[in-house]
Structure 1
Amino acid sequence: MPSRHKYSINADPVHGTASYGRELPISQKHSMEICREIKGMNVDTAKSYLKDVISLKNPVPFKKHNKKVAHRKMEGWDAGKFPEKAASGILKLLENAEKNAEYKGLNSDEIVIKHITASKGRQMKGFYPRAMGRTTPKRKITTNIEMILEEVQ
């Protein structure tokens, strides 16, 4: 049965698995920075890194969207933040992908994040009622995240 979503790269049917988070209510910019940071990591390392970000122990270096971002104590970069909401959303997706890999029978100790990307999701439009019968538009921004895990031989 074909997938509902076409991934930007194909996962190995024997040694890989994929997971997709559709229209997550998290920041696209924060998600892009986190995805860049955890790409290529082992799944257990990435999970502990995201848990440290959520508990405000380890900042995420902001290399692309770094205007007016405070400096943090970390190695290799100066500007950083603690994007807790985005990290928790990506952590849920990572745990889902890991369970997909376990269901497929892959060794959980040797799984790495081969591909992860964040892209713009749908905007949910609404409005705020104002005085004198006017309205102000409001837009809820969402993010799509695709993740491909692969077992290293």
Structure 2
Amino acid sequence: MTRYSLDPENATKSAKARGSHLRVHFKNTRETAHAIKKMHLRRAVRFLKNVSAHKECVPFRRYNGGVGRCAQAKNWKATQGRWPQKSAEFLLQLLKNAESNAEYKGLDTDHLVIEHIQVNKAPKMRRRTYRAHGRINPYMSSPCHIEVILAEREQAIARPTEEEPGKKKVS
């Protein structure tokens, strides 16, 4: 049993999933995960599929050096965005795993929300490339660890509407 960085508020109403040493870029995955945090599960899955189809972009806020601008980032009040295919794929697989864990626990999958999602750096993997004059340079990859906690949200209580809001009491 591995330790998560956050314990869910109500363990019976939540489901978890995690992946370790995943060979997907840390920076792209961090930005993609940040975009789907606090989303409903159905919306997050639809968003990630739209990212793969280039219909919606992932806004790049922290790791945005050299990232080009795109018009789709305006929906997020940002200017820079990309469509990280592999990160979207890995996150979709992880959300599918967490959803099946929730289903196994008997939770209602229509009311699941991504309560917590975190991407951490994993140890770098080394390869080498051969350069001119007998030199060797490193080819490093930046894998990551991802953890997700889905929680079942209770139905929000509707605010009662006031009758005749225009009248004021005069004393």
Q: What TM-score does the superposition give when structure 1 sets the normalisation length?
A: 0.90
Greater relative contact order: 1 or 2 (C-alpha under 8 angstroms, separation 6 or more)? 1
CA drift of 1:122 comes to 1.9
Q: CA deviation at 1:46?
A: 0.1
2:11 is paired with a residue of what secondary structure? Answer: coil
Does residue 79 in structure 1 map to residue 76 in structure 2? no
1:97 matches 2:95: no
1:41 match? 39
Where does residue 26 of structure 2 map in the other structure? Answer: 28
Letter matched to residue 54 of structure 1: S
Question: In the aligned structure 2, how far is the partner of 1:92 from the partner of 1:118?
Answer: 15
Moved more, 75-84 or 122-131: 122-131
Q: Counterpart of 1:10 in 2: which secondary structure?
A: coil
2:152 aligned residue: 151
Deviation for aligned residue 1:128: 3.8
> Which has the larger Rg?
2
Question: Percent same amino acid among aligned pairs?
Answer: 35
| Residues 109-120 of structure 1 mapped to structure 2, 5 A cutoff | 109-120=110-121
Q: How many residues were matched structurally?
A: 150
Residue 139 of structure 1 corresponds to 140
* Structure 1 residue runs without a partner (length 5+): none
Aligned-partner SS, 1:144: strand
| Counterpart residue identity of residue 34, structure 1 | T
Contact map agreement 2:25 2:141 (CA 8 A) in 1:
no
Aligned-pair distance for 1:10? Answer: 1.0
Query: 1:63, CA displacement in angstroms?
Result: 1.1
Give the equivalent residue in structure 1 for 2:125: 124
Aligned to 2:89: 88
| Separation of aligned partners in 2, 1:104 and 1:128 | 48
d(CA) in 1 for partners of 2:5 and 2:16?
Answer: 11
Instruction: List gaps (5 residues or longer) in structure 2.
Output: 155-171
CA RMSD, Structure 1 to Structure 2 (Å): 1.6
SS at match of 1:125: strand
Please say which of residues 36-45 and 7-16 is displaced more in the overlay.
Answer: 7-16
Contact 2:18 2:145 in 1 (8 A): yes
Cα offset for 1:124? 2.1
More strand by share: 1
